[in-house]
């Protein structure tokens, strides 16, 4: 039967956990078409009314083909969207939660993982406060019955620190509804994650009144095979025989094929596979952040540069360094003291001084003749 309904546009989103709706309908398998090319066509059908959701379980190794070929037909309504858990729904979910999957191993682990959260504990008395710590304690049973482990919960209340025994409490719940919803969501995710080889598609169908919704896709299937039998008549004089052919098919869909319209097609179509379920990221070049260095003055070493007679700062530093090295060596006794001053040179003897072995005759300058003064 030809389907004349227009194909409604759908948006497929990979979400951590598929959100539920007020109403849900069951999909039943109606048609299967197998080919010798290694692919098969599966068509599901459901009778719905008003806004509803449809859930379809798909094997994990067929999710890529379903994302590639999924079509939804709604004769009177439209498709609101399709949600599918991620490739690793548990690890992706706990990235956005304030606790890890190990916190759900026991009530004590959950409470200790959410320290600081406000809780309401009921029992012999009702306490409201923020979680401080849950600590185990060993309790002796009466009449020599041995020991047991109990857990003491400490809460920071308006009246101060108060304690209660976790095993004696009737209920312990989180005061924040959003936090309680996160815990419920994590528990639901762990329940779904147990089916590791299957994923659930949630299809939202929006419309009014009763109508039929069909969901179809093409996935990989085992090849169907043929076998023939030639049946000869018992009468040897008969010229007629019977040829019987059988189709060998394999149902690997995980669903029973009951009252299913089955079609076998012979052919070799060209098919491809594309990994649409995996996450891909584009490599981007990293640009370093430019940091401008600060201009700082030179460190004061205690010496100053001077220029005298062509002596530069380098000569001044060398002289100061030599004086420091010499002073350090002098203090350690590596060198002697300052050298003694040399004796002043002997003054030469006067030529006429007594004791001079070679006295020289003293010479006097000749007197100048005086001219007579004129008389007045």
- State residue 286's pLDDT score: 92
Q: State the pLDDT at residue 4.
A: 32
CB-neighbour burial class of residue 177 (10 A; exposed 0-12, middle 13-18, buried 19+) = exposed
pLDDT in tens, the chain (376 residues): 333 333 333 333 333 333 333 345 688 999 999 998 889 999 999 998 888 889 888 888 899 999 999 999 988 878 888 888 777 767 777 887 888 888 888 999 999 999 999 999 998 889 999 999 999 988 888 887 788 899 999 999 998 999 999 998 999 999 999 999 999 988 887 876 666 678 888 898 888 888 899 999 999 999 999 999 999 888 888 888 999 999 999 998 778 898 999 999 988 778 888 999 888 899 999 999 888 777 777 788 877 655 445 455 555 566 667 677 766 766 666 555 555 555 555 655 555 555 555 555 555 555 555 555 555 5
How many other β-carbons are positioned within 10 Å of the β-carbon of residue 212? 14
Any idea where the domains of the chain sit in the sequence? Answer: 12-91+194-231+242-265, 118-175
Radius of gyration of the chain (CA): 53
DSSP codes of every residue in 268-296: ---------SS------PPPPPP-PPPP-
Q: What is the model's pTM?
A: 0.56
**Judging by beta carbons within 10 Å of its beta carbon (0-12, 13-18, 19+), is residue 373 exposed, middle or buried?**
exposed
The set of residues, in sequence order, having a beta carbon less than 8 Å from that of 137 and lying 6+ positions away, is 149, 150, 151, 152
Spatial contact of 22 and 252, defined as CB atoms under 8 Å apart: no
The phi and psi torsions of 367 (rounded to 5 degrees) equal -80, 145
């Amino acid at each position: 039967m030809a389907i004349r309904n227009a194909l409604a546009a759908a948006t497929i989103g990979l979400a951590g956990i598929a959100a539920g709706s007020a109403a849900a309908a069951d999909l039943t398998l109606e048609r299967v078409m197998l080919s010798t090319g290694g692919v098969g066509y599966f068509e599901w059908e459901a009778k719905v009314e008003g806004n509803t959701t449809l859930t379809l379980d798909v094997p994990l190794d067929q999710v890529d083909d379903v994302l590639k070929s999924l079509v939804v037909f709604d004769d009177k309504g439209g498709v609101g969207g399709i949600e599918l858990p991620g490739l690793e729904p548990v690890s992706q979910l706990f990235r956005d939660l304030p606790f890890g999957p190990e916190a759900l191993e026991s009530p004590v682990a959950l409470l200790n993982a959410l320290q600081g959260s406000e809780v309401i504990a009921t029992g012999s008395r009702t306490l409201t406060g923020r979680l401080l710590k849950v600590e185990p304690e060993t309790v002796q049973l009466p009449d020599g019955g041995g020991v047991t482990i109990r857990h003491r919960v400490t809460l920071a209340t308006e009246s101060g620190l108060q304690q209660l025994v976790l095993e004696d409490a009737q209920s312990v719940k989180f005061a924040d509804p959003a936090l309680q919803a996160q815990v419920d969501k994590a528990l639901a995710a762990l329940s779904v994650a147990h089916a590791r080889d299957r994923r659930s598609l949630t299809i939202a169908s929006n419309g009014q009144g009763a109508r039929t919704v069909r969901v179809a896709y093409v996935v990989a299937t085992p090849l169907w095979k043929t076998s023939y039998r030639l049946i000869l008549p018992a009468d040897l004089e008969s010229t007629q025989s019977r040829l019987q052919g059988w189709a060998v098919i394999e149902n690997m869909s995980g669903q029973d094929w009951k009252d299913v319209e089955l079609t076998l097609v012979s052919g070799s179509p060209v098919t491809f596979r594309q990994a649409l379920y995996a996450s891909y990221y584009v490599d981007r070049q990293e640009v370093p952040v430019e940091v401008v260095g600060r201009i700082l003055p030179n460190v004061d070493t205690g010496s100053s540069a001077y220029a005298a007679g062509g002596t530069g700062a380098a000569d001044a530093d060398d002289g100061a360094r030599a004086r420091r090295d010499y002073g350090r060596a002098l203090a350690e006794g590596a060198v002697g003291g300052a050298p003694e001053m040399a004796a002043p040179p002997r003054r030469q003897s006067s030529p006429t001084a007594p004791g001079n072995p070679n006295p020289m005759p003293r010479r006097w300058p000749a007197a100048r003749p005086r001219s007579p003064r004129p008389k007045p």
